[in-house]
Amino acid sequence: MSHDPYFNRPQPPQMPQHPRFDDRPQGGSKLPWILGAIGGVVLLGVLVCCGGGYALVNLGMNVVAEDIRMQLRDHPTVREHIGEIESIDTAFGASLAHEDDDTFVYNVSGDKGDGELTVKSVTGGDGMEDIVSATLRTDDGETYELDL
């Protein structure tokens, strides 16, 4: 036995220990981070794919539009109503509305006026567009069949 005077004495109540911020268990689920990373990669891939696809189609259509411009720039009806062609752009919405896959619509601007060219063309053996038929509709609403 000990002669310690505090040996049999009741102990004061202990204060509950609160864990410190540092003592919090580390880790947790990594699943949200993994799913977020996978989702981000998929989203980036879709954006790159769609954006790249659109850019390639746009580039190809601009090449075709320039070829059409070169063939129709000296046409008398185009010269009379549009003048010197300053710009030609593919009208994708109007082109997709056509039933014929070989017919495209182009917005054309010149020094005399603006209009819309509807051109049916096929790619020839030399890679150039061969125009089968073409129609010019001016901003005034007049429509002209272009004799080729």
Residue 3 inside a domain? The answer is: no
Sort 42 into a burial class: Cβ within 10 Å, 0-12 / 13-18 / 19+. Answer: exposed
The tokens for 55 are 């850019």
Structure-block tokens of residue 127: 């890679």
**Does residue 95 sit within a domain?**
yes
Q: Would you say residue 82 lies in a domain?
A: yes
What is the pLDDT, as a whole number, of residue 117?
95
The answer to whether residue 21 is domain-embedded is no
CA distance 20 to 125: 79
> Is residue 28 predicted with pLDDT exceeding 80?
no
Q: What is the mean pLDDT of residues 2-29?
A: 63
* Model confidence, pTM: 0.64
Q: Is residue 90 part of a domain?
A: yes
Count structural domains, the chain.
1
The answer to whether 95 touches 104, Cβ cutoff 8 Å, is yes
Question: pLDDT-based confidence at 42, cuts 50/70/90?
Answer: very high
Is 123 a domain residue?
yes
Q: How do residues 45-99 score in pLDDT, each as one tens digit?
A: 988 888 888 888 778 888 888 989 999 999 999 999 999 999 999 998 898 898 8
In a domain, residue 16? The reply is no
The answer to the question of residue 66 being in a domain is yes
Picking from 90, 91, 79, 78, the residue whose alpha carbon sits closest to that of residue 144 is 78
Range of the domain at 103: 35-146
